[in-house]
Amino acid sequence: MFIKNGLEFVVEKDAKQSVKILEIGFGTGLNALLTAQYAKAKGVAIEYSTLEAFPVNESIWQQLDYAQSEAEHEIFYRLHHEPWDQWTEVMPGFMLKKLNTTLQLASLDHAYYDLVYFDAFAPNKQPEMWTIPMLQKTIESLVRNGVFVTYCAKGQLKRDLASIGTRVETLKGPPGKREMIRAIKF
C-alpha cells in the first residue's frame, strides 16, 4: 500500500518522472524491492534513502526473498548487499543509500524528499519514533506538497501531523490493517 498510496499517488499527482524517497525502517527490504519493481515497470527514476538502526540478519532476509523472478531476486540481493552510508546504483534508474542510524541521529536534508515511507513499528512498540519532534523532523525533510505515508492510523498521530503543517487523509489499509494515513505537507 506504500506503493499505491504513496509512490503511485506522487507520480500521478505531480506527473513526476523522478522521485526522491526516504524510508524510515528498511527492515526486510520489501518496500525497496516493490519500489524498484514499480520504477522499472513505469520508467520512473528513484533516489531511495533508507534508515535502519538494526539491519535484519542475512539468514532471515534470505528466507523472506520476495522475488518472483531471477531478475527480482538479483535486485533483492543487491538491496541488502550494497554498502551502507553511500549512494549506489542497484539498477538503471534506481539509486540507493542505506543509512545505518536511527531517525533521532540521522541528519536529514531540509525540503529534499518527495515521499516518506514511515515504516516504524507501532507507537506502543517504538514510542520514541512517534514524538512530535521526530515527526516534525521527518515532515521538514519533505518538499512542499511532499507526501508522508504510514500504516499507523491512530487519532493522536493524525492530530500531531495536522499540527505540524500537513493535510491528513485516512485511507483503506493493507490486509490486516483497517486504515493507513497519507499526509501532504503544506
Per-residue pLDDT reduced to its tens digit, 4-16: 999 999 999 988 8
Q: What is the pLDDT of residue 66?
A: 81
Q: Show me where the domains of the chain are located.
A: 2-185
**Closest listed residue to residue 43, CA positions, set 17, 7, 12, 20:** 17
What CATH superfamily is the domain 2-185?
Answer: Vaccinia Virus protein VP39 (3.40.50.150)
Burial zone of 40 (CB within 10 Å; 0-12 exposed, 13-18 middle, 19+ buried): middle
Per-10-residue mean pLDDT for the chain, 186 residues long? 96 93 96 96 97 93 80 92 96 97 95 95 92 97 98 96 98 91 97
Maximal C-alpha separation, the chain: 46
Neighbouring CB atoms inside 10 A of 182's CB total 20
pTM listed for this prediction: 0.95
